Structure 1
Amino acid sequence: MSTSTDTAVVTAAEQTSRAREILGVSRLTNQALTRWLHGLPGVDQVGCEARAAGLGTRSIKTTAKAWAIDTAISMIDLTTLEGADTDGKVRGLVTKALSPDPSDPSTPHPAAVCVYGDKVAVAKQALGTSEVKVAAVATAFPSGRASMPVKLADTQDAVSAGADEIDMVIDRGAFLSGDYLTVFDQIAAVKEVCGPARLKVIMETGELVTYDNVRRASWLSMLAGGDFIKTSTGKVSPAATLPVTLIMLEAVRDWLELTGEQIGVKPAGGIRTSKDAITFLVAVNEVAGEQWLTNTYFRFGASSLLNDLLLQRQRMATGAYSGADYIADDSPSLY
């Protein structure tokens, strides 16, 4: 099985060639992509939502809950994506990532800090030799409304500054108008510019209207070279719903079976409580499988979630809730 952590640079031409092989066509055209994507099984909306509701009723206790809380902390992309971001704010975010709970050094670190591209160097310097990654949003985040030269330059700037991961947004207008080849070409081009940096493809599921579109966008994103498929920018509602995440988990599971390649999933926006996070982890285990229960293949795009997980962790350790003022409430956004 190959993994999406391989650092070999994949060119857009190579990605197109691979896509042709998967589709079984001699030339990658919009017609071929449309036929293939619309040939995917339709989503049973009632069944999907019923399954999500059932997962939401699950309850785990004691050692399993403690493991889930630590795992969820280790999967967070701690995020600040505001126009008012300053170097000091980014350094504060890094401090929180390096020491989530100063009273307990055994607390896991989040997986990454996620910032705008112009703050990558600040975050990278503040992290030093830490294993915490730096993720940068790019490609005219959050709208994606820019020319390709601008999108590629945006990505290249972040990679050159040291970004370990790139979170790009697809052109939802092109996708919704059925111009799948344009979306494919843009993802493949960004993937090439990423070099060794991992690419998370944001579909902005709140704008895709239907579950069938979520499934098609998931497969298109993987086909074009995404290392992760991601629900949302956190700027559009609804964001990371459980039904949408279930569809994405089914897609990566089926992609692994088809290609032998494991792709990650990142729900982002609106996940704020430990109970929510644990429900998502139950879904990961039951739909995709336990091999996705690692921050290599599953992330939460969140900031306020971390504080609730820390409070729950302290309660399990001491038997009582700490006051909220014992946790630094420096969440920079509702992302």
Structure 2
Amino acid sequence: MAALGMADRPITVGAVCVYHEMVSTAVEALKGSHIPVAAVSTGFPAGLSPFHLRLAEIHESVAAGASEIDIVISRRHVLTSNWQALYEEVKAFREACGDAHLKAILATGELGSATKIAKASMVAMMAGADFIKTSTGMEKINATQPTSLIMMRAIRDYYERTGYKIGYKPAGGISTAKDAVQYLVLVKEELGRDWLEPTLFRFGASRLLTDIERQLEHFVTGRYSAAHRHPMG
């Protein structure tokens, strides 16, 4: 960090995301760091548990100290174009979150068309999502740049209509620093500089950390380190 001229910069991850069982442990471990704990919820990753249990899971994670909740929508509402049902579902999740931020995972690789992705993005924002997120990372097709463009333009449209800035999170399949730079350029060009802050943009890709560390070490030393020398290796 000193060789990069960044020794005085407090660089951290945007959040630490865990299952409910590990929320209290993560909150305790991160005490004083100002790094938020996010909990994947509502029957992640498929979202097929009974509705009352999905609401209860949100309540339990918030009570345990999670300040961000990543919910998964019911894909069937999108596939059948039941937009009212999708709105009511996300709205109920939003209310259950209380003061915690809600990130709505759309599972875009399973929604069938660009039109449905755009409509699902808009409905989730209308229902109170603070972020819209591409994927759980466990679908066959996760984050892609074409899908990201659709979602970002929905965010821009929503902002122009309402004045509210909604965050964006591509997740799954982003594993190299070069890929990350392409997404950052896309965000900057489509949404503007404000969306390059962690309050409005996150990467959901644990594997990405290792490549970023290796690229930074190469910049300083001219050599790549072995992946197993890094925490996520």
- The TM-score normalised by the length of structure 1 is 0.66
Find out whether 1:272 has 2:175 as its counterpart.
yes
- After TM superposition, the structure 1 = structure 2 runs for residues 1-335 of structure 1, keeping only pairs within 5 Å, are 108-330=11-233
RMSD: 1.8
Instruction: Tell me the SS of whatever aligns to 2:70.
Output: strand
Which segment is superposed worse, 178-187 or 199-208? 178-187
Task: Report the number of matched residues.
Answer: 230
- 1:221 maps to amino acid: A
Q: Distance in 2 between matches of 1:109 and 1:188?
A: 31
> Structure with the greater relative contact order (CA < 8 A, sep ≥ 6): 1 or 2?
1
**What 5-or-longer segments of structure 2 have no aligned partner?**
none
Instruction: Tell me the SS of whatever aligns to 1:157.
Output: helix
Q: Distance in 1 between matches of 2:86 and 2:113?
A: 18
Query: 1:29 aligns to what?
Result: none
- 2:36 maps to amino acid: K
Superposed CA deviations along residues 40-73 of structure 1, whole A, max 9, x for unmatched, are xxxxxxxxxxxxxxxxxxxxxxxxxx89xx9xxx
Q: Could you tell me whether the CA contact under 8 Å between 2:79 and 2:112 is conserved in 1?
A: no
Instruction: Tell me the SS of whatever aligns to 2:204.
Output: strand
* Shift in Å, 1:143: 0.9
Query: 1:36 aligns to what?
Result: none
Superposed CA deviations along residues 88-130 of structure 1, whole A, max 9, x for unmatched, are xxxxxxxxxxxxxxxx785721011111112100110111111
Q: Distance in 2 between matches of 1:323 and 1:161?
A: 37
* Shift in Å, 1:289: 1.1
Higher alpha-carbon Rg: 1
* Shift in Å, 1:317: 2.3
Q: Could you tell me whether the CA contact under 8 Å between 2:209 and 2:232 is conserved in 1?
A: no
* Shift in Å, 1:325: 3.5
Instruction: Tell me the SS of whatever aligns to 2:231.
Output: coil
Superposed CA deviations along residues 227-247 of structure 1, whole A, max 9, x for unmatched, are 000000111011001110111
The percent identity for this pair of structures is: 45
